[in-house]
Structure 1
Protein backbone atom coordinates (compact mmCIF):
# COMPACT_ATOMS: atom_id res chain seq x y z
CA UNK A 1 0.00 0.00 0.00
CA UNK A 2 1.15 3.53 -0.74
CA UNK A 3 1.87 5.99 2.08
CA UNK A 4 -0.01 8.76 0.25
CA UNK A 5 -3.08 9.92 2.14
CA UNK A 6 -6.53 9.78 0.53
CA UNK A 7 -6.86 13.57 0.60
CA UNK A 8 -3.46 13.97 -1.03
CA UNK A 9 -4.38 11.41 -3.69
CA UNK A 10 -7.68 13.21 -4.35
CA UNK A 11 -5.89 16.53 -4.74
CA UNK A 12 -3.28 15.09 -7.07
CA UNK A 13 -5.79 13.28 -9.28
CA UNK A 14 -8.39 16.05 -9.51
CA UNK A 15 -6.05 19.03 -9.55
CA UNK A 16 -8.02 20.63 -6.72
CA UNK A 17 -7.03 21.05 -3.06
CA UNK A 18 -8.71 18.48 -0.82
CA UNK A 19 -9.26 18.24 2.92
CA UNK A 20 -11.80 17.06 5.45
CA UNK A 21 -10.52 13.50 5.17
CA UNK A 22 -12.57 10.87 7.00
CA UNK A 23 -11.45 7.24 6.91
CA UNK A 24 -14.26 4.73 6.43
CA UNK A 25 -12.05 1.64 6.20
CA UNK A 26 -8.44 0.76 5.49
CA UNK A 27 -8.96 1.41 1.78
CA UNK A 28 -11.87 3.88 1.61
CA UNK A 29 -12.21 7.48 2.74
CA UNK A 30 -14.29 10.58 2.21
CA UNK A 31 -12.70 13.89 1.34
CA UNK A 32 -13.93 17.35 0.37
CA UNK A 33 -12.52 19.12 -2.67
CA UNK A 34 -11.97 22.85 -2.82
CA UNK A 35 -15.40 24.27 -3.58
CA UNK A 36 -17.26 21.80 -1.36
CA UNK A 37 -17.66 18.71 -3.56
CA UNK A 38 -17.61 15.56 -1.41
CA UNK A 39 -15.78 12.63 -2.96
CA UNK A 40 -14.99 9.03 -2.17
CA UNK A 41 -11.32 8.06 -2.37
CA UNK A 42 -10.64 4.36 -2.79
CA UNK A 43 -7.25 2.68 -2.66
CA UNK A 44 -6.89 -0.39 -4.87
CA UNK A 45 -6.02 -3.68 -3.22
CA UNK A 46 -5.07 -5.46 -6.45
CA UNK A 47 -3.03 -4.62 -9.51
CA UNK A 48 -5.21 -2.84 -12.06
CA UNK A 49 -8.28 -2.82 -9.80
CA UNK A 50 -8.68 0.96 -9.72
CA UNK A 51 -8.32 1.24 -13.48
CA UNK A 52 -10.80 -1.59 -14.03
CA UNK A 53 -13.37 -0.01 -11.72
CA UNK A 54 -13.01 3.42 -13.33
CA UNK A 55 -13.45 1.95 -16.80
CA UNK A 56 -16.46 -0.02 -15.60
CA UNK A 57 -18.15 3.02 -14.07
CA UNK A 58 -17.65 5.01 -17.27
CA UNK A 59 -18.99 2.14 -19.39
CA UNK A 60 -22.10 1.82 -17.24
CA UNK A 61 -22.62 5.59 -17.33
CA UNK A 62 -22.26 5.53 -21.09
CA UNK A 63 -25.44 3.49 -21.40
CA UNK A 64 -27.38 6.52 -20.16
CA UNK A 65 -29.67 4.47 -17.93
CA UNK A 66 -28.40 3.47 -14.48
CA UNK A 67 -26.98 6.03 -12.10
CA UNK A 68 -23.34 5.65 -11.08
CA UNK A 69 -21.04 8.07 -9.26
CA UNK A 70 -19.00 10.22 -11.64
CA UNK A 71 -15.30 9.39 -11.85
CA UNK A 72 -13.28 12.48 -10.87
CA UNK A 73 -9.83 10.98 -11.19
CA UNK A 74 -7.82 7.81 -10.92
CA UNK A 75 -4.64 5.93 -11.62
CA UNK A 76 -3.37 2.40 -10.99
CA UNK A 77 -3.58 2.87 -7.22
CA UNK A 78 -6.46 5.25 -6.49
CA UNK A 79 -9.98 6.04 -7.65
CA UNK A 80 -11.85 9.25 -6.85
CA UNK A 81 -15.62 9.41 -7.41
CA UNK A 82 -18.50 11.60 -6.31
CA UNK A 83 -20.03 10.72 -2.96
CA UNK A 84 -23.69 9.66 -3.10
CA UNK A 85 -25.96 10.98 -0.37
CA UNK A 86 -27.90 7.95 0.80
CA UNK A 87 -31.49 7.54 1.93
CA UNK A 88 -33.82 4.59 2.32
CA UNK A 89 -34.91 2.04 -0.28
CA UNK A 90 -38.42 2.48 -1.59
CA UNK A 91 -40.69 0.69 -4.07
CA UNK A 92 -40.53 3.47 -6.66
CA UNK A 93 -36.72 3.48 -6.62
CA UNK A 94 -36.65 -0.31 -6.93
CA UNK A 95 -39.01 -0.29 -9.90
CA UNK A 96 -36.98 2.48 -11.53
CA UNK A 97 -33.82 0.45 -11.03
CA UNK A 98 -35.46 -2.52 -12.73
CA UNK A 99 -36.26 -0.42 -15.79
CA UNK A 100 -32.82 1.16 -15.77
CA UNK A 101 -31.11 -2.24 -15.59
CA UNK A 102 -33.11 -3.36 -18.61
CA UNK A 103 -31.75 -0.36 -20.49
CA UNK A 104 -28.20 -1.00 -19.29
CA UNK A 105 -28.29 -4.61 -20.44
CA UNK A 106 -29.77 -3.64 -23.79
CA UNK A 107 -26.82 -1.32 -24.40
CA UNK A 108 -24.90 -4.51 -25.05
CA UNK A 109 -21.27 -5.58 -25.23
CA UNK A 110 -19.02 -6.80 -28.06
CA UNK A 111 -18.80 -10.31 -26.58
CA UNK A 112 -19.32 -12.32 -23.43
CA UNK A 113 -16.35 -11.50 -21.25
CA UNK A 114 -15.57 -8.27 -23.10
CA UNK A 115 -13.95 -5.75 -20.72
CA UNK A 116 -15.11 -2.13 -20.69
CA UNK A 117 -13.30 0.15 -23.15
CA UNK A 118 -9.96 1.03 -21.59
CA UNK A 119 -10.37 -1.59 -18.89
CA UNK A 120 -7.81 -4.35 -18.30
CA UNK A 121 -8.44 -7.93 -19.29
CA UNK A 122 -7.15 -9.00 -15.89
CA UNK A 123 -9.76 -7.38 -13.66
CA UNK A 124 -11.33 -8.12 -10.28
CA UNK A 125 -14.62 -9.09 -8.66
CA UNK A 126 -14.33 -7.83 -5.12
CA UNK A 127 -10.94 -9.12 -3.93
CA UNK A 128 -10.85 -12.01 -6.39
CA UNK A 129 -9.05 -11.78 -9.73
CA UNK A 130 -11.43 -12.05 -12.71
CA UNK A 131 -10.09 -12.51 -16.22
CA UNK A 132 -12.16 -11.03 -19.03
CA UNK A 133 -11.62 -13.41 -21.93
CA UNK A 134 -14.10 -12.71 -24.77
CA UNK A 135 -16.26 -15.48 -26.21
CA UNK A 136 -19.38 -15.76 -28.37
CA UNK A 137 -21.03 -18.88 -26.93
CA UNK A 138 -22.41 -18.11 -23.47
CA UNK A 139 -22.68 -21.66 -22.05
CA UNK A 140 -19.10 -22.49 -22.99
CA UNK A 141 -17.79 -19.09 -21.88
CA UNK A 142 -19.62 -19.23 -18.54
CA UNK A 143 -18.23 -22.67 -17.77
CA UNK A 144 -14.67 -21.93 -18.87
CA UNK A 145 -14.26 -18.40 -17.52
CA UNK A 146 -16.75 -17.92 -14.68
CA UNK A 147 -17.37 -21.30 -13.05
CA UNK A 148 -14.42 -23.65 -13.50
CA UNK A 149 -11.57 -21.23 -12.59
CA UNK A 150 -13.09 -20.55 -9.16
CA UNK A 151 -14.11 -24.17 -8.68
CA UNK A 152 -10.49 -25.26 -9.23
CA UNK A 153 -9.25 -22.66 -6.75
CA UNK A 154 -11.82 -23.76 -4.17
CA UNK A 155 -10.83 -27.43 -4.55
CA UNK A 156 -7.11 -26.64 -4.41
CA UNK A 157 -7.55 -24.64 -1.20
CA UNK A 158 -9.60 -27.38 0.43
CA UNK A 159 -12.70 -25.18 0.67
CA UNK A 160 -14.69 -27.34 -1.77
CA UNK A 161 -14.85 -31.12 -1.32
CA UNK A 162 -14.31 -33.16 -4.46
CA UNK A 163 -17.80 -34.66 -4.22
CA UNK A 164 -19.28 -31.17 -4.35
CA UNK A 165 -16.98 -30.22 -7.20
CA UNK A 166 -18.34 -33.15 -9.20
CA UNK A 167 -21.86 -31.73 -8.89
CA UNK A 168 -20.69 -28.33 -10.18
CA UNK A 169 -18.80 -30.01 -13.03
CA UNK A 170 -22.04 -31.79 -13.91
CA UNK A 171 -23.69 -28.38 -14.39
CA UNK A 172 -20.89 -27.33 -16.74
CA UNK A 173 -21.33 -30.51 -18.76
CA UNK A 174 -25.03 -29.75 -19.22
CA UNK A 175 -24.83 -25.96 -19.61
CA UNK A 176 -25.97 -25.92 -23.26
CA UNK A 177 -29.29 -27.46 -22.26
CA UNK A 178 -29.63 -25.59 -18.94
CA UNK A 179 -28.85 -22.10 -20.25
CA UNK A 180 -32.20 -21.36 -21.86
CA UNK A 181 -32.62 -19.52 -25.16
CA UNK A 182 -29.55 -17.83 -26.60
CA UNK A 183 -29.13 -14.18 -25.59
CA UNK A 184 -26.85 -11.48 -27.01
CA UNK A 185 -24.06 -10.20 -24.74
CA UNK A 186 -25.42 -7.69 -22.23
CA UNK A 187 -23.59 -4.83 -20.54
CA UNK A 188 -23.34 -6.05 -16.95
CA UNK A 189 -22.52 -4.41 -13.67
CA UNK A 190 -21.03 -7.79 -12.87
CA UNK A 191 -21.01 -7.68 -9.06
CA UNK A 192 -24.57 -6.57 -8.46
CA UNK A 193 -25.35 -7.62 -4.92
CA UNK A 194 -27.37 -5.34 -2.66
CA UNK A 195 -24.23 -3.97 -0.98
CA UNK A 196 -23.27 -2.39 -4.30
CA UNK A 197 -26.61 -0.58 -4.59
CA UNK A 198 -26.81 2.77 -2.82
CA UNK A 199 -30.36 3.94 -2.24
CA UNK A 200 -29.93 7.66 -2.77
CA UNK A 201 -31.49 10.50 -0.87
CA UNK A 202 -32.68 11.68 -4.29
CA UNK A 203 -35.03 8.69 -4.59
CA UNK A 204 -32.86 6.85 -7.13
CA UNK A 205 -30.70 3.76 -6.81
CA UNK A 206 -26.99 4.26 -7.53
CA UNK A 207 -24.61 1.45 -8.47
CA UNK A 208 -21.04 1.26 -7.20
CA UNK A 209 -18.06 -1.13 -7.29
CA UNK A 210 -18.74 -2.79 -10.64
CA UNK A 211 -16.92 -5.79 -12.09
CA UNK A 212 -18.28 -4.73 -15.46
CA UNK A 213 -18.06 -7.00 -18.49
CA UNK A 214 -20.17 -8.47 -21.26
CA UNK A 215 -22.35 -11.27 -19.93
CA UNK A 216 -25.81 -12.78 -19.67
CA UNK A 217 -28.37 -10.27 -18.39
CA UNK A 218 -29.92 -12.84 -16.04
CA UNK A 219 -26.65 -12.92 -14.07
CA UNK A 220 -27.09 -9.38 -12.69
CA UNK A 221 -30.66 -10.13 -11.65
CA UNK A 222 -29.74 -13.45 -10.05
CA UNK A 223 -26.92 -11.84 -8.08
CA UNK A 224 -29.26 -9.15 -6.77
CA UNK A 225 -31.53 -11.88 -5.44
CA UNK A 226 -28.70 -13.91 -3.91
CA UNK A 227 -28.12 -11.87 -0.76
CA UNK A 228 -31.46 -10.08 -0.69
CA UNK A 229 -32.54 -6.79 -2.22
CA UNK A 230 -35.39 -4.54 -1.02
CA UNK A 231 -38.51 -4.76 -3.16
CA UNK A 232 -36.89 -7.36 -5.41
CA UNK A 233 -40.17 -8.58 -6.88
CA UNK A 234 -41.15 -5.04 -7.89
CA UNK A 235 -37.71 -4.57 -9.44
CA UNK A 236 -38.01 -7.75 -11.52
CA UNK A 237 -41.58 -6.96 -12.56
CA UNK A 238 -40.50 -3.53 -13.81
CA UNK A 239 -37.52 -5.07 -15.61
CA UNK A 240 -39.77 -7.59 -17.35
CA UNK A 241 -42.19 -4.88 -18.43
CA UNK A 242 -39.30 -3.03 -20.07
CA UNK A 243 -37.51 -6.13 -21.41
CA UNK A 244 -39.31 -9.49 -21.14
CA UNK A 245 -37.22 -12.36 -19.85
CA UNK A 246 -37.19 -15.77 -21.49
CA UNK A 247 -39.47 -18.46 -20.10
CA UNK A 248 -37.88 -20.36 -17.25
CA UNK A 249 -35.93 -17.39 -15.86
CA UNK A 250 -36.82 -18.20 -12.24
CA UNK A 251 -35.59 -21.78 -12.61
CA UNK A 252 -32.26 -20.53 -13.99
CA UNK A 253 -31.52 -18.22 -11.06
CA UNK A 254 -29.38 -20.87 -9.25
CA UNK A 255 -27.37 -21.42 -12.41
CA UNK A 256 -26.40 -17.75 -12.52
CA UNK A 257 -25.79 -17.62 -8.76
CA UNK A 258 -23.21 -20.38 -9.06
CA UNK A 259 -20.52 -17.92 -10.19
CA UNK A 260 -20.75 -15.48 -7.23
CA UNK A 261 -21.12 -18.35 -4.76
CA UNK A 262 -17.91 -19.91 -6.02
CA UNK A 263 -16.16 -16.53 -5.81
CA UNK A 264 -17.31 -16.30 -2.19
CA UNK A 265 -16.06 -19.83 -1.55
CA UNK A 266 -12.62 -18.82 -2.84
CA UNK A 267 -12.56 -15.60 -0.81
CA UNK A 268 -14.27 -16.64 2.40
CA UNK A 269 -13.92 -20.40 2.65
CA UNK A 270 -15.96 -23.54 2.94
CA UNK A 271 -19.02 -21.87 4.48
CA UNK A 272 -20.10 -20.94 0.95
CA UNK A 273 -19.21 -24.28 -0.64
CA UNK A 274 -22.45 -25.88 0.52
CA UNK A 275 -24.48 -23.04 -0.96
CA UNK A 276 -22.63 -23.38 -4.26
CA UNK A 277 -23.31 -27.13 -4.38
CA UNK A 278 -26.97 -26.55 -3.47
CA UNK A 279 -27.24 -24.03 -6.33
CA UNK A 280 -25.65 -26.56 -8.68
CA UNK A 281 -28.15 -29.24 -7.64
CA UNK A 282 -31.04 -26.81 -8.12
CA UNK A 283 -29.75 -25.89 -11.57
CA UNK A 284 -29.55 -29.57 -12.54
CA UNK A 285 -33.09 -30.17 -11.26
CA UNK A 286 -34.60 -27.25 -13.16
Structure 2
Protein backbone atom coordinates (compact mmCIF):
# COMPACT_ATOMS: atom_id res chain seq x y z
CA UNK A 1 0.00 0.00 0.00
CA UNK A 2 2.98 2.34 0.35
CA UNK A 3 3.35 2.43 -3.44
CA UNK A 4 -0.35 3.21 -3.84
CA UNK A 5 -0.18 6.01 -1.26
CA UNK A 6 2.91 7.51 -2.89
CA UNK A 7 1.26 7.62 -6.28
CA UNK A 8 -1.95 9.06 -4.90
CA UNK A 9 0.00 11.87 -3.25
CA UNK A 10 1.96 12.51 -6.43
CA UNK A 11 -1.38 12.88 -8.26
CA UNK A 12 -2.59 15.49 -5.77
CA UNK A 13 -4.62 13.32 -3.39
CA UNK A 14 -3.67 13.94 0.26
CA UNK A 15 -3.91 10.24 1.18
CA UNK A 16 -3.22 9.22 4.75
CA UNK A 17 -3.99 5.49 4.87
CA UNK A 18 -5.02 2.74 2.45
CA UNK A 19 -6.74 -0.58 3.04
CA UNK A 20 -5.92 -3.28 0.51
CA UNK A 21 -8.64 -4.66 -1.74
CA UNK A 22 -8.49 -8.27 -2.84
CA UNK A 23 -9.74 -10.27 -5.81
CA UNK A 24 -7.98 -8.63 -8.78
CA UNK A 25 -5.24 -10.31 -10.80
CA UNK A 26 -3.53 -7.25 -12.30
CA UNK A 27 -3.41 -4.14 -10.14
CA UNK A 28 -2.57 -3.25 -6.57
CA UNK A 29 -5.82 -1.75 -5.30
CA UNK A 30 -7.16 -0.27 -2.12
CA UNK A 31 -9.58 2.08 -0.42
CA UNK A 32 -7.65 5.21 0.57
CA UNK A 33 -8.66 7.71 3.25
CA UNK A 34 -7.70 11.33 2.57
CA UNK A 35 -6.73 13.87 5.19
CA UNK A 36 -10.18 15.51 5.04
CA UNK A 37 -11.82 12.15 5.89
CA UNK A 38 -13.13 11.43 2.42
CA UNK A 39 -12.28 8.22 0.64
CA UNK A 40 -11.30 7.15 -2.86
CA UNK A 41 -10.75 3.78 -4.48
CA UNK A 42 -7.43 3.56 -6.28
CA UNK A 43 -5.43 1.12 -8.38
CA UNK A 44 -1.81 1.15 -9.40
CA UNK A 45 0.59 -0.99 -11.43
CA UNK A 46 4.18 -1.83 -10.68
CA UNK A 47 5.03 -1.93 -14.39
CA UNK A 48 3.71 -2.64 -17.89
CA UNK A 49 0.34 -2.13 -19.61
CA UNK A 50 0.68 1.63 -20.02
CA UNK A 51 -2.83 2.04 -21.45
CA UNK A 52 -4.70 -0.36 -19.13
CA UNK A 53 -6.18 2.31 -16.86
CA UNK A 54 -6.94 4.63 -19.76
CA UNK A 55 -8.87 1.82 -21.48
CA UNK A 56 -10.71 0.98 -18.27
CA UNK A 57 -11.69 4.60 -17.67
CA UNK A 58 -12.92 4.93 -21.25
CA UNK A 59 -15.01 1.80 -20.85
CA UNK A 60 -16.59 3.11 -17.65
CA UNK A 61 -17.47 6.37 -19.40
CA UNK A 62 -18.96 4.55 -22.40
CA UNK A 63 -21.21 2.51 -20.11
CA UNK A 64 -22.22 5.61 -18.17
CA UNK A 65 -23.15 7.47 -21.37
CA UNK A 66 -25.31 4.46 -22.26
CA UNK A 67 -27.20 4.81 -18.96
CA UNK A 68 -25.39 2.27 -16.77
CA UNK A 69 -24.27 3.36 -13.30
CA UNK A 70 -20.48 3.30 -12.96
CA UNK A 71 -18.10 4.92 -10.47
CA UNK A 72 -16.97 8.42 -11.31
CA UNK A 73 -13.42 8.54 -12.67
CA UNK A 74 -11.49 11.02 -10.51
CA UNK A 75 -8.05 10.63 -12.07
CA UNK A 76 -6.29 8.40 -14.58
CA UNK A 77 -2.60 8.10 -15.49
CA UNK A 78 -0.53 5.22 -16.91
CA UNK A 79 0.19 4.10 -13.33
CA UNK A 80 -2.89 5.19 -11.40
CA UNK A 81 -6.67 5.01 -11.60
CA UNK A 82 -8.75 6.80 -8.96
CA UNK A 83 -12.49 6.18 -8.66
CA UNK A 84 -15.27 7.13 -6.32
CA UNK A 85 -15.82 4.29 -3.80
CA UNK A 86 -19.05 2.31 -4.03
CA UNK A 87 -20.88 0.04 -1.56
CA UNK A 88 -20.83 -3.76 -2.00
CA UNK A 89 -23.62 -5.48 -3.90
CA UNK A 90 -26.66 -6.92 -2.11
CA UNK A 91 -26.37 -10.62 -2.87
CA UNK A 92 -29.55 -11.77 -1.11
CA UNK A 93 -31.83 -9.01 -2.44
CA UNK A 94 -33.81 -10.13 -5.49
CA UNK A 95 -34.83 -6.54 -6.20
CA UNK A 96 -31.16 -5.61 -6.60
CA UNK A 97 -30.70 -8.25 -9.30
CA UNK A 98 -33.95 -7.17 -10.95
CA UNK A 99 -32.64 -3.60 -11.20
CA UNK A 100 -29.36 -4.87 -12.65
CA UNK A 101 -31.30 -6.89 -15.23
CA UNK A 102 -33.23 -3.81 -16.36
CA UNK A 103 -30.01 -1.79 -16.62
CA UNK A 104 -28.24 -4.46 -18.69
CA UNK A 105 -31.32 -5.01 -20.86
CA UNK A 106 -31.50 -1.27 -21.55
CA UNK A 107 -27.80 -1.25 -22.43
CA UNK A 108 -28.26 -4.12 -24.87
CA UNK A 109 -31.40 -2.78 -26.51
CA UNK A 110 -30.35 0.86 -26.99
CA UNK A 111 -26.77 0.57 -28.26
CA UNK A 112 -27.04 -1.43 -31.46
CA UNK A 113 -23.99 -1.02 -33.70
CA UNK A 114 -23.10 -2.01 -37.25
CA UNK A 115 -19.85 -3.89 -36.49
CA UNK A 116 -18.40 -6.15 -33.84
CA UNK A 117 -15.38 -4.88 -31.91
CA UNK A 118 -14.16 -1.54 -30.54
CA UNK A 119 -12.00 1.29 -31.81
CA UNK A 120 -9.04 0.08 -29.74
CA UNK A 121 -7.86 -3.15 -28.15
CA UNK A 122 -8.63 -3.63 -24.49
CA UNK A 123 -7.58 -5.86 -21.64
CA UNK A 124 -8.98 -8.98 -20.02
CA UNK A 125 -7.00 -9.40 -16.83
CA UNK A 126 -3.36 -8.78 -17.74
CA UNK A 127 -3.69 -9.99 -21.35
CA UNK A 128 -4.81 -8.09 -24.42
CA UNK A 129 -8.38 -8.31 -25.69
CA UNK A 130 -8.39 -8.20 -29.48
CA UNK A 131 -11.16 -5.80 -30.51
CA UNK A 132 -10.39 -5.58 -34.24
CA UNK A 133 -13.58 -4.58 -36.07
CA UNK A 134 -15.45 -7.36 -37.84
CA UNK A 135 -18.75 -7.37 -39.74
CA UNK A 136 -19.41 -11.09 -39.12
CA UNK A 137 -20.41 -11.89 -35.55
CA UNK A 138 -19.67 -15.59 -35.80
CA UNK A 139 -16.19 -14.91 -37.16
CA UNK A 140 -15.62 -12.25 -34.49
CA UNK A 141 -16.56 -14.67 -31.71
CA UNK A 142 -14.38 -17.42 -33.18
CA UNK A 143 -11.30 -15.38 -34.03
CA UNK A 144 -11.25 -12.55 -31.47
CA UNK A 145 -12.81 -14.22 -28.45
CA UNK A 146 -12.07 -17.98 -28.60
CA UNK A 147 -9.24 -19.01 -30.94
CA UNK A 148 -7.30 -15.90 -29.93
CA UNK A 149 -6.33 -17.74 -26.71
CA UNK A 150 -4.87 -20.88 -28.27
CA UNK A 151 -1.33 -19.45 -28.77
CA UNK A 152 -1.07 -18.40 -25.11
CA UNK A 153 1.58 -20.66 -23.51
CA UNK A 154 -0.55 -22.01 -20.66
CA UNK A 155 -3.48 -22.68 -23.01
CA UNK A 156 -1.21 -24.39 -25.52
CA UNK A 157 0.10 -26.62 -22.74
CA UNK A 158 -3.39 -27.45 -21.41
CA UNK A 159 -4.76 -29.10 -24.58
CA UNK A 160 -3.43 -31.69 -26.98
CA UNK A 161 -3.66 -31.44 -30.76
CA UNK A 162 -6.96 -33.35 -30.94
CA UNK A 163 -8.56 -31.05 -28.37
CA UNK A 164 -7.40 -27.96 -30.23
CA UNK A 165 -8.88 -29.35 -33.45
CA UNK A 166 -12.18 -29.99 -31.63
CA UNK A 167 -12.22 -26.36 -30.50
CA UNK A 168 -11.52 -25.23 -34.06
CA UNK A 169 -14.37 -27.45 -35.36
CA UNK A 170 -16.72 -25.92 -32.77
CA UNK A 171 -15.77 -22.45 -33.98
CA UNK A 172 -16.37 -23.46 -37.60
CA UNK A 173 -19.85 -24.66 -36.59
CA UNK A 174 -20.85 -21.47 -34.77
CA UNK A 175 -23.15 -20.28 -37.62
CA UNK A 176 -25.20 -23.45 -37.05
CA UNK A 177 -25.12 -23.16 -33.26
CA UNK A 178 -25.88 -19.47 -32.70
CA UNK A 179 -28.67 -17.46 -34.29
CA UNK A 180 -27.27 -14.24 -35.80
CA UNK A 181 -27.70 -11.25 -33.53
CA UNK A 182 -26.71 -7.58 -33.93
CA UNK A 183 -23.67 -6.14 -32.14
CA UNK A 184 -24.50 -4.17 -28.99
CA UNK A 185 -22.33 -2.45 -26.42
CA UNK A 186 -21.32 -5.02 -23.80
CA UNK A 187 -19.62 -4.72 -20.44
CA UNK A 188 -17.42 -7.64 -21.44
CA UNK A 189 -16.57 -9.03 -17.99
CA UNK A 190 -19.95 -9.15 -16.27
CA UNK A 191 -19.40 -11.57 -13.42
CA UNK A 192 -20.56 -11.03 -9.86
CA UNK A 193 -17.34 -9.43 -8.58
CA UNK A 194 -17.74 -6.61 -11.11
CA UNK A 195 -21.19 -5.73 -9.78
CA UNK A 196 -21.49 -3.27 -6.87
CA UNK A 197 -24.20 -1.00 -5.49
CA UNK A 198 -24.61 2.56 -6.71
CA UNK A 199 -24.66 5.52 -4.34
CA UNK A 200 -28.29 6.23 -5.19
CA UNK A 201 -29.31 2.58 -4.92
CA UNK A 202 -29.53 0.03 -7.67
CA UNK A 203 -26.55 -1.67 -9.27
CA UNK A 204 -23.26 -0.27 -10.52
CA UNK A 205 -20.67 -1.92 -12.76
CA UNK A 206 -16.88 -1.81 -12.57
CA UNK A 207 -13.86 -3.28 -14.42
CA UNK A 208 -15.33 -3.41 -17.94
CA UNK A 209 -13.78 -4.94 -21.04
CA UNK A 210 -16.15 -3.17 -23.43
CA UNK A 211 -16.80 -3.92 -27.07
CA UNK A 212 -19.69 -4.22 -29.46
CA UNK A 213 -20.46 -7.91 -29.23
CA UNK A 214 -23.26 -10.43 -28.68
CA UNK A 215 -25.58 -9.53 -25.81
CA UNK A 216 -25.41 -13.16 -24.67
CA UNK A 217 -21.66 -12.77 -24.12
CA UNK A 218 -22.49 -10.61 -21.10
CA UNK A 219 -25.19 -12.99 -19.88
CA UNK A 220 -22.80 -15.93 -20.08
CA UNK A 221 -20.46 -14.38 -17.54
CA UNK A 222 -23.18 -14.23 -14.88
CA UNK A 223 -24.88 -17.51 -15.82
CA UNK A 224 -21.76 -19.67 -16.00
CA UNK A 225 -19.83 -18.18 -13.06
CA UNK A 226 -20.63 -18.84 -9.38
CA UNK A 227 -23.35 -16.47 -8.20
CA UNK A 228 -25.89 -16.13 -5.37
CA UNK A 229 -29.33 -17.80 -5.70
CA UNK A 230 -31.13 -14.43 -5.67
CA UNK A 231 -29.49 -13.60 -9.01
CA UNK A 232 -31.84 -16.06 -10.75
CA UNK A 233 -34.22 -13.12 -10.90
CA UNK A 234 -31.76 -11.32 -13.17
CA UNK A 235 -32.42 -13.74 -16.03
CA UNK A 236 -36.20 -13.76 -15.56
CA UNK A 237 -36.40 -9.96 -15.64
CA UNK A 238 -33.87 -9.64 -18.47
CA UNK A 239 -35.91 -12.04 -20.59
CA UNK A 240 -39.02 -9.89 -20.07
CA UNK A 241 -37.17 -6.63 -20.77
CA UNK A 242 -34.91 -7.59 -23.69
CA UNK A 243 -36.09 -11.02 -24.83
CA UNK A 244 -34.16 -14.28 -24.90
CA UNK A 245 -34.53 -16.68 -27.81
CA UNK A 246 -35.29 -20.32 -27.06
CA UNK A 247 -32.21 -22.38 -26.22
CA UNK A 248 -30.30 -19.55 -24.56
CA UNK A 249 -29.20 -21.76 -21.65
CA UNK A 250 -27.52 -24.14 -24.09
CA UNK A 251 -25.78 -21.30 -25.95
CA UNK A 252 -24.24 -19.48 -23.01
CA UNK A 253 -21.45 -22.07 -22.39
CA UNK A 254 -20.25 -21.43 -25.96
CA UNK A 255 -19.76 -17.76 -25.13
CA UNK A 256 -18.17 -18.69 -21.81
CA UNK A 257 -15.34 -20.46 -23.62
CA UNK A 258 -13.60 -17.09 -23.83
CA UNK A 259 -13.59 -16.72 -20.04
CA UNK A 260 -12.49 -20.29 -19.46
CA UNK A 261 -9.59 -19.99 -21.89
CA UNK A 262 -8.61 -16.62 -20.45
CA UNK A 263 -8.57 -18.09 -16.95
CA UNK A 264 -6.26 -20.86 -18.14
CA UNK A 265 -3.99 -18.28 -19.78
CA UNK A 266 -3.85 -16.41 -16.46
CA UNK A 267 -3.24 -19.65 -14.50
CA UNK A 268 -6.44 -18.99 -12.56
CA UNK A 269 -8.21 -22.28 -11.65
CA UNK A 270 -6.58 -23.57 -14.82
CA UNK A 271 -7.15 -27.31 -14.33
CA UNK A 272 -10.81 -26.82 -13.44
CA UNK A 273 -11.35 -24.50 -16.42
CA UNK A 274 -9.61 -26.91 -18.81
CA UNK A 275 -12.02 -29.67 -17.79
CA UNK A 276 -14.96 -27.33 -18.40
CA UNK A 277 -13.60 -26.57 -21.89
CA UNK A 278 -13.25 -30.29 -22.63
CA UNK A 279 -16.88 -30.84 -21.66
CA UNK A 280 -18.07 -28.09 -24.02
CA UNK A 281 -15.96 -29.27 -27.00
CA UNK A 282 -16.66 -33.00 -26.47
CA UNK A 283 -19.31 -33.18 -29.24
CA UNK A 284 -16.69 -31.90 -31.71
CA UNK A 285 -13.90 -34.31 -30.72
TM-score for the superposition, normalised by structure 1: 0.86
Counterpart in the other structure of 2:206: 208
The 1:156–1:233 alpha-carbon spacing in structure 2 relative to 1, beyond 3 Å, is closer
Q: 1:113 aligned to 2:117?
A: yes
Separation (CA, whole Å) in 1 of partners of 2:109 and 2:5: 38
TM-score for the superposition, normalised by structure 2: 0.87
Structure 1: runs of 5 or more not aligned: 116-120
Counterpart in the other structure of 2:135: 136
Separation (CA, whole Å) in 2 of partners of 1:24 and 1:156: 28
Q: 1:79 aligned to 2:69?
A: no
CA contact (8 A) 2:74 2:84 kept: yes
1:49 corresponds, among 48, 52, 66, to 52
Give the secondary-structure state (helix, strand or coil) at the position aligned to 2:239: helix
Q: For 1:206-245, what aligned pairs fall within 5 Å after superposition?
A: 206-230=204-228, 231-245=230-244
Separation (CA, whole Å) in 2 of partners of 1:275 and 1:102: 28
Deviation at 1:43, TM superposition (A): 1.3
Q: For 1:17-28, what aligned pairs fall within 5 Å after superposition?
A: 17-24=14-21, 27-28=28-29
Runs of 4+ in 1 over 4 A off after TM superposition: 199-203
Separation (CA, whole Å) in 2 of partners of 1:154 and 1:274: 17
CA contact (8 A) 2:189 2:221 kept: yes
CA contact (8 A) 1:124 1:211 kept: yes
Counterpart in the other structure of 1:258: 257
Deviation at 1:4, TM superposition (A): 7.8
- Stretch deviating more after TM superposition (25-34 or 96-105): 25-34
The alignment yields a C-alpha RMSD, in angstroms, of 2.5
Deviation at 1:105, TM superposition (A): 1.7
CA contact (8 A) 2:52 2:123 kept: yes
Give the secondary-structure state (helix, strand or coil) at the position aligned to 1:219: helix
Deviation at 1:156, TM superposition (A): 6.3
The 1:242–1:143 alpha-carbon spacing in structure 2 relative to 1, beyond 3 Å, is same
Aligned residue pairs total 274
**Cα-to-partner distance string for 1:151-181 (whole Å, 9 max, x where unaligned):** 232576412222221221111111111111x
